[in-house]
Chains A and B, each alone.
Chain A
Amino acid sequence: MDIAEAILTTVATASTPLLIAATGELVVERSGVLNLGVEGMMLMGAVSGFAVTALTGYPWLGVLAAVIVGAVYSLLFGFLTLTLVTNQVATGLALTLLGVGLSGLIGVPFVGHPGIQMTSLYIPGLTGLPYVGKLLFGEDPLFYLSIVLVIGVSWFLFGTRAGLTLRSVGDNHGSAHALGIPVIRIRYLAVMFGGACAGLAGAQLSIVYTPQWVENMTAGRGWIALALVVFASWRPWRVFAGAYLFGLLTIAELNIQAVDLSTLHQLPGAVYDLLALIKAIPSQFLSSIPYLATVVVLVVISRNRRLTMMNTPASLGRAFVPDR
């Protein structure tokens, strides 16, 4: 079916920014820090990525700049919450608000100019394969990077000693400190990693997804990424599944709106009925599914105390002041 193939190839581009930003935030939250500044960091990454690409002509330099800017910008959050021990929720929100304004200011000269789009992969023979060719061998480089990122983070968190240390800091910073683990330093590194990922996700928007700069171009994706981490109960592969589920829902919904049912009578009855059913659901409702799904998952997790203890980093959002 043509539409199915079309949906598949578009989904990866739509899901990648969510996946990258959420994976970064997952590491931050696993270390016990809640950074609500993802949207702001993404915007800083998007504007710096676009600017450097426009000025140098090299998208890869733009991506690099976005990663660095995201990490440096998140240091501001780190300094305030970890060194000065300010409230993490308030500081994270401030980081978003500042990011919206600052990125708009930096981006003024770049408004109204089309950017350079990063070219997608092309492997002769493989990219042309039906159905899977374009999806597996014809996407943009950041898509592959995002997959590597999930594999890497999953391996790091659950397969290495350093990952175990990071999780222990997030689960009980008092005990970790007593064992001589440098809690603050580890959290700084985690926050910077989250910032770098958010910056990369922003660059994906302004260099790959929609190669342009406009104020507020993330349009709430930072918040979806935050919701996604909770939705995935702090597990990398569930973040992956969630990002693609959210992406698939958006794209499928748009395609179903555009489809003309009267041309699809040759389809099996059940499929046709399903399409007709989805088409009858108001699009506003379909747009809100990611948020509803997150609420449902939260309810399910928090109803069961064991599930909560198993999944949520116990020190999440708590300030840490070393007592000696």
Chain B
Amino acid sequence: MKKLLLALTAATALVAATNAQAADKFKACWVYVGAIGDFGYSFQHNQGRLAVEKAFGDKVETTYLENVSEGPDAERAFERLAREGCKLVFGTSFGFMDPEYKVAKRFPKVLFEHATGFKTAKNMGVYNLRWYEGRYVMGQIAAKVSKSHIGGYIVSFPIPEVLMDINAFVLGAHSVDPNFKLKIVWVNSWFDPGKEADAAKALIDQGADVLGQHTDSTAAMQVAETRGVHAFGQASDMIKFGPHAQLTALVDNWAPYYVSRVKAAMDGTWKPDNVWLGIKDDHAVELAPFTNMSDDVKAMAEATEKKIAGGWNPFTGPINKQDGTPWLKDGEVAKDSVLLGMNFYVQGVEGALPK
């Protein structure tokens, strides 16, 4: 009995010690909508978390919850993290907005950040990426590389982020080759490797020799590799899946932002932000190395990337809507608020917008 008591006391002391140790550390936490093993969207957020661990070493402690479904269910996830002593919580999906906002109101001392949303509070900021900048560069490359003048584009759902990217891709392509056609296939899913592969096969069978995608898996890249056509990677660098196919990939590089925000929170200089990061912000939108293309195409892509990094916006007029009605006057730059609510195609995109 005595021994047991002794052991218990020792155990309690040990727990107390670890708690004290943990209290010295700054705790940053993440909530992911998918699995960190998706090699796509959530995987990249997790890479950002790992970069935070690497940058601050012993000074931080990080934790995450994966596969958290969007909507009311997410509230419990955020509340749990806030109770567990997280000082800064990143919610990484649009659908976390309301639950995260509610929890932020209840825990005024905990700092919150939400990706791709628009609700802010004293202790909640938002951050997002300008993927369309990379898409414009990809469009240019596609138009240069394609021999059939037909590209294929595999997409999930007609939301502003997706439409923005289709429009940027086509604008980029037509700036190089006005005859370039983009065939768009909707697979109605963010993640279904089989269906993405089937869509890629369908597009290639119908003449496309450059593939882009706004879905999460590496399946289309693999099909491009076996069929001997080119493709662009999505979310992660997919070069391993298409060593001869990948031209570049649109990489979500959250790491610099996460490191800077954790640092600000540790220093006590954190303020709620509302940022939309692009190529110019430490390459938050990163283009994977330009491969499998000739030097002049590469030079063109690099020049465009540089131009965008210098502050040029691909959505600079004159640009008409698909039906020919004017949208942007010569030299006019699209407002962020319009882009974030984009619900139309620009002139040059073919096919009807699914409703």
Contact = CB atoms under 8 A, between A and B. Distances in A.
Contacts of B192: 219-220
Interface in B179-223: 181, 183-189, 191-199, 201-203, 205-206, 208, 217-219, 222
Interface stretch (B37-45, B269-277, B283-291): B37-45
Interface string A75-111: 0000000000000000000000000000010011001
A77 B196 CA distance: 32
B202 A104 contact: no
Interface stretch (A149-157, A247-255, A269-277, A297-305): A247-255
B198 A251 contact: yes
Contacts of B203: 258
Interface residues of B, number: 41
Interface residues of A, number: 39
A209 B333 CA distance: 44
Contacts, number: 115
Please classify the interface of chain A as helix (H, G, I), strand (E, B), loop, or mixed, using the class held by over half of its residues: helix
A283 B219 CA distance: 20
Given A209-B197, A287-B188, 19 more contacts: A3-B205, A10-B205, A14-B194, A108-B37, A111-B38, A114-B240, A205-B193, A212-B193, A212-B219, A214-B191, A215-B35, A219-B189, A219-B194, A250-B198, A251-B198, A254-B185, A254-B198, A255-B202, A257-B184
Interface in A181-240: 205, 209-212, 214-217, 219-221
Pairs of residues from A and B, 7 with the lowest C-beta to C-beta distance, nearest first: A6-B205, A219-B192, A215-B35, A210-B193, A254-B202, A210-B219, A215-B37
A216 B185 CA distance: 22
A210 B222 contact: yes
B8 to A, nearest CB: 33
A6 B202 contact: yes
Contacts of A220: 192
Nearest to B150: A260
A125 interface: no
Contacts of B217: 210, 212, 214, 217
A251 B202 CA distance: 8
A111 B206 contact: no
B331 interface: no
Interface of A: 2-3, 6-7, 10, 14, 17, 104, 107-108, 111-114, 117, 205, 209-212, 214-217, 219-221, 250-251, 254-255, 257-260, 282-284, 287
Interface string B342-355: 00000000100011
B167 interface: no
A117 B226 CA distance: 10
5 contacts: A214-B191, A215-B37, A251-B198, A257-B184, A258-B185
Interface string B36-69: 0111000100000000000000000000000000
